[in-house]
Amino acid sequence: MPRFFKKSAKKAGSPPGLQIDAQAPLGTQTDICVLIYSKESLETHHLPNIDAVLPLIQKEKAAWIQVTGTNDHVAFSRIGELFNIHTLTLEDMVNPAHPPKFEDFDAYYYVTLKQLAFDPKRYEISETQVSMAVMENLVISIQDKPSPCLKAVEKRLQAGRGKIRRGGSGYLAYALIDAVVDHSLDVIGQIASAVESIERDMLEELNPVLLEQIHRLKREVIFFNKQLRPVRGAILSLMKSESPFIPDAVIRFYADILDHVNHILDAVTSLQELLSSMVDFYMSAQGNRMNEVMATLTIISTIFIPLSFLAGIYGMNFKFMPELEWQWGYFTFLGGMAAIGGAMVLFFKKKGWF
């Protein structure tokens, strides 16, 4: 189950921090986009390398550096040199399997999150790692593949409405974290809709396919919980941090994010319980159906027991048996068997056994 436990690419005994991978696969060039903005203006630049960023940064304006792709370790090493980012942080940035966390350094603070997406056809959750290093008037965001959450925040910057243009790097970091968490709320809503759909189908007809779908969703909900639960600890650590790059005015917004995370985790717990109860209901309904079948078969067998007894007696090859030469014996015997069977059916029906 590699999605629940991913083997680290780092070899045992290797030194800590980012290691330059000279054998990175071709076609993994890092894409760099820089947004320079203030209350009055916004500039967007797509750059060939990270060194081209420095001439664009201005003290009176905030900057958002978007880095897409994590395989170019040389580029990340250069990012560490230019912006004084610790090599351990760089190692976490290029590791897509790293769980969500918050770390506070003297020159910046670092947050990594998981953006999740749900495929309603395959009942499967995919993940995209979103990391950011936040400094004075500068946010460096890293994503292993394009993120719709970051695009949504970028559109807000382009629109220039609200506080995002004048809030600086601290507010931009909050907006990015809030977008990722709110997207998780949408994902859990999609999963809940899928669960409700399966529940309705179960009430109409039991089908082994439904049981398979329930087990898939149970697995994905567990995976969702694994990816989101560390976010609560990361937000709490961020709120308790004394980093100068987290304005006091923004702390109250993180309290709102924490409420959203708690709400999502409560929904995850409810879904886990609901899915477990659906499995119990399915197995119980299957058991009841089997009991009904067995009851029907038992009644039929019980009716045929005396009939088989009579047929067995008159099937014996004795020469001298009563009624063997009687003209109406055959029909009388069949009528007697029918009467016995009908009487037993009426008796069982009166008892309410079927």
Question: Over 70: is that where the pLDDT of 8 sits?
Answer: no
Q: Residue 172's pLDDT is what?
A: 94
Which pLDDT does position 19 carry in this prediction? 58
**Cβ distance 177 to 51 under 8 Å?**
no
pLDDT, averaged across the chain: 85
pLDDT of residue 27: 41
Highest mean pLDDT among 13-22, 230-239, 306-315: 230-239
CA-to-CA separations, 129 to 2, 93, 254, in angstroms, rounded: 16, 9, 20
Report the number of secondary-structure helices (H) and strands (E) in the chain.
Answer: 7, 7
CA angle 332, 337, 343 (to 5 degrees): 120
Q: What is the mean pLDDT of residues 162-190?
A: 92
CA dihedral 183, 185, 187, 191 (to 10 degrees): 180
pLDDT band at 333 (very low <50, low <70, confident <90, very high): confident
Mean pLDDT of 261-284: 93
pTM given for the model:
0.80
pLDDT of 262 over the 80 cut: yes
Element containing residue 217 per DSSP (H, E)? helix 208-240
**Which pLDDT score is estimated for 25?**
46
| Token pair recorded at residue 121 | 């056809």
Closest CA to 135 of 250, 240, 252, 246: 246
- For residue 102, the cross-strand partners are 111
Distance CA 39, CA 47 (A): 23
pLDDT band with cut points at 50, 70 and 90 for residue 305: confident
Share of the chain above pLDDT 90, in %: 47
* Burial class of residue 195, CB neighbours in 10 A (0-12, 13-18, 19+): buried
- Per the CB < 8 A criterion, the answer to whether 168 and 175 are in contact is no
User: Which domains can be identified in the chain, with CATH numbers?
Assistant: 31-284 (3.30.460.20), 294-351 (1.20.58.340)
Average pLDDT, stretch 309-322?
Answer: 71
> Does residue 332 surpass a pLDDT of 90?
no
Report the pLDDT value the prediction gives residue 271, as an integer from 0 to 100.
Answer: 95
* Residue 238, pLDDT above cutoff 80: yes
pLDDT digits (tens, 9 = 90+) for 61-115: 999 999 998 888 888 888 999 999 999 999 889 888 888 999 999 999 999 999 9
